[in-house]
Amino acid sequence: MKRQVLNTSAAPAAVGPYSQAVWAGDVLFCSGQIPLDPSTGQLVSGGIEAQTERVLENLAAVLRAAGLSLADVVKTTVFLTDLSQFAAMNAVYARYFPTNPPARSTVQVARLPRDAQVEIEAIAIRQT
């Protein structure tokens, strides 16, 4: 199985020793995205809705760099610092996955990098 690292300037640069995504054959493993504006590297302002939108835009940018789209995502994991914000996050998430959404896990965590409220990682498949 071929392994290939993928990085793009269209999404925020990694804030640690990891890649934005890694191909393993036809499977793309996307690192968790937090709501950083790729042009400034700063956390976006606004609540959970604005942060979720930025996270999904960042994830979409990584997928585009791989020649994929959100429609190719088969699994996501959502990390929230407050599960009481689940409904608001979910409303934004549903706009990005309107039909046949991927499998998903959602967990509450104590803290996220840069004190973000949400982080989402994804696994996508190249359709052959």
Beta bridge partners of 85: none
Q: Is the pLDDT of residue 15 over 90?
A: no
Model confidence, pTM: 0.96
Mean pLDDT of all residues in 92-110 = 98
Fold annotation for 3-125: 60s Ribosomal Protein L30; Chain: A; (3.30.1330)
73 alpha-carbon distance from chain centroid: 10
User: DSSP secondary structure string, 37-73?
Assistant: -TTT-SBPPSSHHHHHHHHHHHHHHHHHHTT--GGGE
pLDDT of amino acid 48: 98
| CA distance linking residue 10 with residue 1, whole number of Å | 27
Q: Is the pLDDT of residue 50 over 80?
A: yes
**Would you kindly state where each structural domain of the chain is located, as residue ranges?**
3-125
Q: Is the pLDDT of residue 66 over 80?
A: yes
| CA distance linking residue 110 with residue 72, whole number of Å | 30
